[in-house]
């Protein structure tokens, strides 16, 4: 059971399905207020749908699809910030519920800057989830950002999925309730640290009872350019189709019904066309032997950085190409024993930006990796038809013990 809350600009809408009695009556309203924690937070900021013309650009900044957004401009001062706090939402919010805050953000320089890029101290976005146990209704003082009573829970985070200046990028923040709460709120702050800079953002909020599933997609079938190939499958039963692969380097070869990639080999598939908005599914059987961090399996969807799985020393973990990743055997890893055949499946939902990984038919992890945004094709060659997807498999540094056997690779789109 879930409740979907969608914020477009400054309007928060509630779509309430049939849920438990304690949840069915809960309502979010559409009130955001600007607060001023210190003198760097200026009156009147953030601005709703501001006019921002980035340095070197002629047209004003717009959100993809023409959606509403907020902006904080710093045309003169060294530190000009703006903060939004959502009004208190009262209800019965149970332990393990998840509030998901999705931010789409953009930062850059204005006409008065010497450079059109940040050479230091780039603009930032900070987010926070606040919760209160039963008691009197918390009230905020917008002039000081102080609450009438202290929150029982405060969880803070920062936006890290930045791309190049003026490029919109998205990031999902998950706040899991570690106790029952009676009141909740969220805050979003845009901070500028240099003269002639700006930061802009839009957001959506979703409150769910758990992370057990995601909405079923309704594919949007549109005409797709013919320059990408159709999705394919390879059995590796003595031969494979070289036309399916853009690059095969380092000596991948076939042996006993498997494609073997050993000590530095890699394979990159051709771009495959997929229906716009459709769920993408990719599966394979694999056996891996690897030192830390030196075997990868990833996919690239146009407009989203490459993402997938990294393997090493009996473990595996997810990664996004533009974000520093941890050791495959860190606290977020899963067991992936060496030299054992395992069936793997990846799904990617371009409407929600969610990547899901399955191991031997069991869903192991989910991660927000990004929603495709027009004009942002980081990691994909110019002119690549949109939408399309490519597969990358790599067996790491030649001087380490790295071996990747793929016995079956199949791609499916729905």
- DSSP assignment string, 79-129: -EEEEEEEPPEEEEE-TT-EEEEEEEEEEEE-TT-SSSS-SSS--EEEEEE
Q: Tell which phi-psi region holds residue 296, choosing left (phi > 0), alpha (psi between -120 and 50) or beta.
A: beta
Instruction: Kindly state whether residues 90 and 144 are assigned to the same domain.
Output: yes
> Rounded to an integer, what distance in angstroms lies between the CA atom of residue 313 and that of residue 380?
30
**Is residue 254 domain-shared with residue 381, that is, in the same domain?**
yes
Q: Are residues 163 and 283 in the same domain?
A: no
Is 213 part of a structural domain of the chain? no
Segment (H or E) for 230: none
- CA contacts within 13 A on the Cβ side of 231: 18
The confidence band for 149, taking pLDDT boundaries of 50, 70 and 90, is very high
117 and 180 share a domain?
yes
DSSP 387: S
pLDDT at 328: 65
Place 108 in a pLDDT band, splitting at 50, 70 and 90.
very high
Residue 353's SS3 state is coil
Residue 267 has pLDDT above 60, yes or no: yes
- Per-residue tokens: 170: 């998205």
Q: Same domain for 150 and 19? A: yes
Predicted confidence (pLDDT) at residue 218 exceeds the cutoff of 80 = no
Q: Does residue 82 form part of some domain?
A: yes
Mean pLDDT on 278-292: 81
Least confident of 23-27, 364-368, 389-393, 405-409: 23-27
- Alpha-helix runs per DSSP H in 313-388: none
Q: What is the mean pLDDT of residues 309-322?
A: 82
179: CB partners within 8 A, 6+ apart: 95, 131, 133, 152, 153
How far apart are the C-alpha atoms of 68 and 292, rounded to whole Å? 44
Which two structure tokens, joined as six digits, stand for 285? Answer: 């059987």
Kindly state the average pLDDT of the residues 367-384.
Answer: 59
In contact, 39 and 20? CB cutoff 8 Å = no
**The tokens 């009147």 sit on which residue?**
44
The region of weakest confidence among 51-65, 197-211, 348-362 is: 197-211
pLDDT for 67 beyond 60: yes
For residue 378, is pLDDT > 50?
A: no
Between 21-25, 40-44, 263-267, 309-313, the lowest mean confidence (pLDDT) is in 21-25
For the chain, give the number of residues: 414
CA separation (Å) from 270 to 243, 246, 300? 8, 5, 11
pLDDT of residue 320: 83
Question: Residue 225 falls within a domain, yes or no?
Answer: no
Average pLDDT over residues 125-143: 94
Region of poorest pLDDT, from 14-23, 224-233, 352-361: 14-23
In the three-class reduction of DSSP (H, G, I as helix; E, B as strand; rest coil), residue 65 is classed as helix
Assigned token pair, 78: 């060294």
Q: What is the pLDDT, as a whole number, of residue 377?
A: 38
Taking only the tens place, the pLDDT of each residue in 318-344 is 888 766 665 667 666 788 888 888 889
Per the prediction, the chain carries an average pLDDT of: 76
Same domain as 261, residue 165? no
* Same structural domain, 262 and 368: yes
Backbone angles phi, psi at 17, to 5 degrees: -80, 180
49 with 197, same domain?
A: yes
266 inside domain? yes
pLDDT band at 210 (very low <50, low <70, confident <90, very high): low
**Does the pLDDT value for residue 389 go beyond 70?**
yes
Q: CA 108, 114, 117 angle in degrees (round to 5)?
A: 30
Match 């919109």 to its residue by tokens. 168
Is residue 242 helix, strand or coil? helix
Tell me phi and psi for residue 117, to 5 degrees: -130, 160
Short-list 178, 149, 363, 397, CA closest to 295: 397
* pLDDT at residue 28 in the model: 32
Binned at pLDDT 50, 70 and 90, residue 227 comes out as low
Task: Give the H or E element holding residue 220.
Answer: none
Average pLDDT over residues 42-46: 87
User: Quick one: 393 and 268 in the same domain?
Assistant: yes
Residue predicted with more confidence, 69 or 18: 69
Do residues 366 and 345 make contact, with C-beta atoms less than 8 angstroms apart?
A: no
Residue 402: its pLDDT value, please? 57
Q: What is the mean pLDDT of residues 156-166?
A: 82
Residue 291's pLDDT band, with cuts at 50, 70 and 90, is low
pLDDT over 60 (residue 26): no
**Per-residue pLDDT band at 153 (split at 50, 70, 90):** very high
Do residues 280 and 188 share a domain?
Answer: no
Same domain as 237, residue 201: no
- Provide the number of structural domains found in the chain: 2
Question: Is residue 59 exposed (0-12), middle (13-18) or buried (19+ Cβ within 10 Å)?
Answer: exposed
What is the distance between the alpha carbons of residues 213 and 100, in angstroms, rounded to a whole number?
A: 13
Residues 6+ apart with CB under 8 A from 39: none
Q: Where are the beta strands (DSSP E) in 177-262?
A: 181-192, 197-208, 233-234, 245-249, 253-255, 258-262
Residue 104: domain span: 2-208
**Highest mean pLDDT pick, 2-6, 56-60, 259-263, 379-383:** 56-60
| The pLDDT value given to residue 3 | 26
């Amino acid at each position: 059971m879930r409740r979907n809350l969608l914020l477009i600009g400054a309007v928060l809408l509630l779509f309430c399905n049939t849920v438990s009695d304690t949840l069915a009556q809960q309502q979010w309203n559409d009130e955001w207020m600007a607060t001023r924690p210190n003198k760097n937070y200026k009156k009147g900021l953030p601005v709703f749908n501001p006019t921002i013309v980035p340095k070197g650009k002629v047209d004003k900044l717009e959100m993809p699809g023409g959606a509403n957004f907020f902006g904080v401009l710093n045309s003169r001062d060294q530190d000009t910030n703006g903060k939004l706090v959502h009004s208190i939402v009262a209800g019965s919010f149970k332990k393990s519920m998840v509030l998901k805050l999705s931010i789409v953000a953009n930062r850059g320089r204005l006409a008065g800057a010497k450079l059109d890029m940040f050479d230091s101290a780039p603009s930032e976005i900070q987010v926070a989830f606040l919760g209160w146990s039963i008691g009197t209704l918390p009230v905020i003082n917008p002039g000081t950002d102080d609450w009438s009573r202290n929150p029982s829970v405060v969880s803070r985070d920062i936006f890290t999925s930045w791309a190049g200046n003026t490029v919109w990028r998205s990031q999902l923040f998950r706040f899991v309730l570690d106790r029952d709460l009676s009141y909740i709120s969220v805050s979003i702050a845009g901070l500028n640290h240099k003269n002639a800079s700006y930061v802009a953002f839009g957001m959506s909020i979703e409150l769910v009872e758990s992370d057990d599933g995601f909405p079923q997609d309704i594919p949007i079938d549109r005409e797709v350019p013919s320059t990408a190939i159709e999705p394919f499958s390879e059995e590796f039963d003595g031969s494979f189709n070289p036309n399916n692969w853009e690059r095969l380097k380092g000596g991948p070869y076939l042996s006993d019904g498997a494609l073997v990639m050993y000590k530095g080999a890699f394979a990159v598939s051709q771009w495959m066309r997929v229906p716009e908005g459709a769920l993408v599914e990719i599966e394979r059987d694999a056996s891996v032997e690897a030192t830390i961090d030196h075997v990868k399996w990833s996919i690239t969807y146009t407009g989203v950085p490459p993402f997938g799985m990294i393997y090493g020393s009996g473990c595996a973990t997810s990664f996004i190409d533009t974000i520093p990743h941890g050791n495959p055997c860190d606290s977020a890893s899963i067991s992936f024993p060496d030299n054992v055949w395992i069936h793997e499946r990846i799904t990617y939902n371009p409407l929600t930006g969610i990547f899901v990984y399955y191991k031997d038919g069991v869903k192991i992890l989910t991660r927000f990796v990004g929603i495709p945004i027009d004009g942002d094709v980081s990691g994909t060659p110019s002119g690549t038809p949109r939408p399309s997807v490519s597969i990358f498999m790599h067996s790491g540094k030649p001087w380490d013990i790295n071996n990747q056997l793929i016995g079956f690779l199949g791609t499916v789109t729905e």
